């Protein structure tokens, strides 16, 4: 089997409400559908969600990278030769989300070719995983309303709360309001998206000592080395690295120099192949992992739950898989389902992705 074509289709689907966080705000899912075709008629799919304020990629740059560089490099390649393909694409610096989508689409092809769900090929650990919902920045009452809506609709009992505003007083107020409204049985952790400075994170955690916070993600810039190490040393909860450790080498560096305790893995950023390597690295170093979310659409969500359920390390914690519910639509004939706060990976061969071509025509922006 050989790759015959690699396509990148830019599309835009609006959010039902803006999703705000310390490093940006998303009002529309301006993502890219990556489609890889083979000479045997098998087609693999993946979704690339650009985050220019985090990785420097845009919808335009992802399309250009796939069309101008990746498609010619993959022409005639064997989809099973993932490491060889990865080495070829590594010659081009950057473009992590575009590369991740190519890797995921190749796994989709492999699963279809051997008649197995990718979740089984990756490890097949769990039948389903608990879902974490991300709460964007807003007033305390707005964030409480959002959390209660998601809890009551989907049965979700784990929330990642966006913080990182300066001064941090409104963040503390919002977290306290959420804990009061949701009760003690709901798991909550915080994500400052590098928004706090100096010892803001330590002061905020001290003010929230009785709020039952499970962990804190990206409290401040990782290149503020001394502050970051001081935060890790003095924090009462684990500090999670995310956008500061996007590759295995960065993960090793931050864990070994004491700049984080845990790592957020995002399949939209490192695909399946490199994400699995990061899981193994963290297990070897004794560091925990959590399956993160890049404000993924429904296609990327299927990839996320596939990976989360495949590995013990990612399946043991709630996974961030619900961003798609705040989008006005999706590209699938049937969107992912969240039942009683859990999501199951597709059991069809490959990733179980069935694209609705009418929706692609409706939302694509290159025509």
Rounded Cα–Cα distance for residues 365 and 361 (Å)? 9
Rounded Cα–Cα distance for residues 238 and 231 (Å)? 10
Question: Has 217 been annotated as catalytic?
Answer: yes
* 288 beta partners: 262
* Residue of 103, 108, 146, 191 marked catalytic: 191
Rounded Cα–Cα distance for residues 22 and 176 (Å)? 19
Rounded Cα–Cα distance for residues 31 and 20 (Å)? 17
Cβ proximity of 204 and 189 under 8 Å:
no
* Residue of 162, 187, 261, 326 marked catalytic: 162
Where are any strands of DSSP class E within the chain? 3-21, 24-38, 43-48, 129-135, 158-162, 187-191, 213-217, 239-241, 262-265, 288-291, 319-320, 342-343
Question: Has 59 been annotated as catalytic?
Answer: no
Backbone angles phi, psi at 139, to 5 degrees: -70, 160
Question: Has 361 been annotated as catalytic?
Answer: no
Closest CA to 339 of 305, 316, 311, 366: 305
Question: Has 326 been annotated as catalytic?
Answer: no
* Residue of 47, 217, 296, 330 marked catalytic: 217
* Residue of 103, 171, 266, 330 marked catalytic: 266
Nearby residues of 218 by Cβ (< 8 Å), 6 or more positions away: 191, 192, 193, 194, 240, 241, 242, 243, 244
* Residue of 47, 242, 261, 296 marked catalytic: 242
Backbone angles phi, psi at 124, to 5 degrees: 60, 40
Question: Has 191 been annotated as catalytic?
Answer: yes
Q: Which residues are catalytic?
A: 162, 191, 217, 242, 266, 294
């Amino acid at each position: 089997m050989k790759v015959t074509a690699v396509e990148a289709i830019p599309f835009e689907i609006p959010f039902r409400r803006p999703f705000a966080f310390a490093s940006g705000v998303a009002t529309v899912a301006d993502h890219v559908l990556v489609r890889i075709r083979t000479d045997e008629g098998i087609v693999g799919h993946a979704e690339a969600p650009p985050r220019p304020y985090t990785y420097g990629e845009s919808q335009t740059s992802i399309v250009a990278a796939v069309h101008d560089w990746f498609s010619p490099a993959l022409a005639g390649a064997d989809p099973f030769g993932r490491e060889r393909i990865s080495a070829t694409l590594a010659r081009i610096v950057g473009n992590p989300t575009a590369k991740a989508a190519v890797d995921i689409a190749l796994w989709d092809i492999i699963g279809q070719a051997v008649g197995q769900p990718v979740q089984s090929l990756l490890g097949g650990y769990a039948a389903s995983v608990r879902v974490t919902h991300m709460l964007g920045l807003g007033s305390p009452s707005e964030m409480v309303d959002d959390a209660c809506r998601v809890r009551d609709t989907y049965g979700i009992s784990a929330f990642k709360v966006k913080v990182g505003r300066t001064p941090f007083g409104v963040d503390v107020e919002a977290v306290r309001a959420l804990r009061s409204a949701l009760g003690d049985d709901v798991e909550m952790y915080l994500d400052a998206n590098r928004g706090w400075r100096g010892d803001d994170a330590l002061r905020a955690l001290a003010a929230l000592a009785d709020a039952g916070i499970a962990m804190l993600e990206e409290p401040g810039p990782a290149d503020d080395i001394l502050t970051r190490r001081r935060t890790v040393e003095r924090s009462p909860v684990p500090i999670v690295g995310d956008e500061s450790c996007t590759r295995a080498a960065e993960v090793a560096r931050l864990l070994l120099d004491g700049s984080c305790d845990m790592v957020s893995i995002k399949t939209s950023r490192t695909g399946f192949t490199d994400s699995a390597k990061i899981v193994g690295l963290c297990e070897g170093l004794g560091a925990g992992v959590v399956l993160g979310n890049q404000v993924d659409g429904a296609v990327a969500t299927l990839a996320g739950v596939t990976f989360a359920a495949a590995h013990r390390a990612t399946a043991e914690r709630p996974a961030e898989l619900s961003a798609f519910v705040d989008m006005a639509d999706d590209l699938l004939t049937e969107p992912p389902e969240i039942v009683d706060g859990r999501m199951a990976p597709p059991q069809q061969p490959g990733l179980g992705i069935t694209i609705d071509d009418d929706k692609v025509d409706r939302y694509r922006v290159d025509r």
